[in-house]
Amino acid sequence: MNGDLTTNPSLLLKIRDHRDHESWTLFVNLYAPPIYRFLKRQGLQDADAADLAQEVFTAVALWIDRLRYDPQRGMFRGWLFAIIRHKLYNHINRLQPPDLGSGDPVIQQRLEDEPEPEPAVPEDRVWDEEYEMCVLHWAADKVRTDFRDRTWQAFWQTSVEGRPADDVATELSMTTGAVWVAKCRVLKKLRDEIQFVEDFPRA
Amino acid sequence: MSPLHDCPDLSRWRELLAGNTLPAAQKVLEDHLNSCPRCAAVLETLAMGPGSPKLPLERLRTPVAPVEPALERVIQDVSRKR
């Protein structure tokens, strides 16, 4: 465990220290999957997504010293997404051939007759999905072992499965109040862990 | 629903979340929660952090995809670079 998270500097502050390999490894293990999977969902091949993900980490290592909390600019995930998008657009621009049409009016008409493609899921929503999946699962895996099975089940059944506390209480032979306490203790721990990895450096 | 004047104050809920409440006192708070949805909501808000966005916990229902070989290489290469 990370000890007392209220006094523990955030991961984003820790990775500024180039000697802190442990924090950097955690950062990479946590954020490489959503970055890579986001890039794949934008249509990149495995190798291109991998290369671009590496470029994103190089940029993060370069710019993390300048990252400051700024409520106008939103959360860390937005800062990271701006870097990813910048790298992605550079990549697409490098691949795109110059815009030279054939000038053939028949081909032009055919192109115009093509049906509009289905609107894709907006890329910021794709990023949110991938980011939230990875961070939530990481935090859940981390805190799971801190609780007894019945406490975890009370949390899972109410918060994840969305079942009423009364029903869960009956099933787990607990009082409704005990279910609420169990659920909220796990929630707090999850929130603390997530805060640790995505809080902006304030120093 | 309990009358509002019977509701424990915020500090007691905070202590409960921090694990600083003795078992007997915890039992009293749990009994209160049995019949006070208002305090249950307060406790949940404190657990989440007041003003914090709701966590999309339903995403935990979907298992994480296994790490692909190309992604594994990214993790190994980038981890070594520091």
Average pLDDT of the segment spanning B64-82: 93
Least confident of A32-36, A101-105, A165-169, B42-46: A101-105
**Alpha-carbon distance values, B32 to A15, A99, A165, B23, B28 (Å):** 44, 70, 14, 14, 6
Decide if the complex's ipTM is over 0.95: no
Least confident of A61-65, A150-154, B24-28, B44-48: A61-65
Residue to mutate among B79, B80, B81, with most A CBs inside 10 A, is B79
CA angle A141, A142, A147 (to 5 degrees): 90
Q: How far is B19 from chain A (nearest CA, A)?
A: 8
pLDDT given for residue A40 in this prediction: 96
Beta strands in chain A (DSSP E): none
3-state secondary structure of A150: helix
User: How many residues does this entry show for chain A?
Assistant: 203
Least confident of A68-72, A142-146, A195-199, B54-58: A68-72
pLDDT given for residue A184 in this prediction: 97
Q: Which residues of A touch B74 (CB under 8 A)?
A: 32, 36, 50, 53-54, 57
Looking at the partner chain, which of B59, B68, B75 has a beta carbon nearest the beta carbon of A136?
Answer: B59
pLDDT given for residue A75 in this prediction: 77
pLDDT given for residue B76 in this prediction: 96
Average pLDDT of the segment spanning A186-203: 84
Higher pLDDT, A200 or B45: B45
pLDDT given for residue B52 in this prediction: 80
CA angle A104, A115, A46 (to 5 degrees): 95
pLDDT given for residue A65 in this prediction: 86
Looking at the partner chain, which of B48, B73, B79 has a beta carbon nearest the beta carbon of A50?
Answer: B73
pLDDT given for residue A120 in this prediction: 72
Q: Which residues of B touch A18 (CB under 8 A)?
A: 82
Higher pLDDT, A135 or A3: A135
Distance CA A119, CA A113 (A): 17
Q: How far is A149 from chain B (nearest CA, A)?
A: 17
Percent of chain A with pLDDT over 70: 82
Backbone Cα Rg of chain A: 23
Q: How far is A104 from chain B (nearest CA, A)?
A: 42
pLDDT given for residue B6 in this prediction: 85
Q: What does pTM read for this prediction? A: 0.84
pLDDT given for residue B53 in this prediction: 81
* pLDDT of A69 higher than 80: no
Distance CA A197, CA A177 (A): 31
pLDDT given for residue A61 in this prediction: 93
* pLDDT of A83 higher than 70: yes
Least confident of A18-22, A30-34, A105-109, A140-144: A105-109
* pLDDT of A55 higher than 80: yes
Report yes or no: A5 at the B interface, CB cutoff 8 Å.
Answer: no
Give pLDDT tens digits for A90-104.
998 888 766 656 667
Average pLDDT of the segment spanning A141-155: 97
HSE at residue B40, side-chain half, CA atoms within 13 A, is 21
Cβ distance of B59 and A133 shorter than 8 Å: yes
CA angle B47, B48, B53 (to 5 degrees): 170
pLDDT given for residue A99 in this prediction: 62
Looking at the partner chain, which of B30, B60, B77 has a beta carbon nearest the beta carbon of A140?
Answer: B60
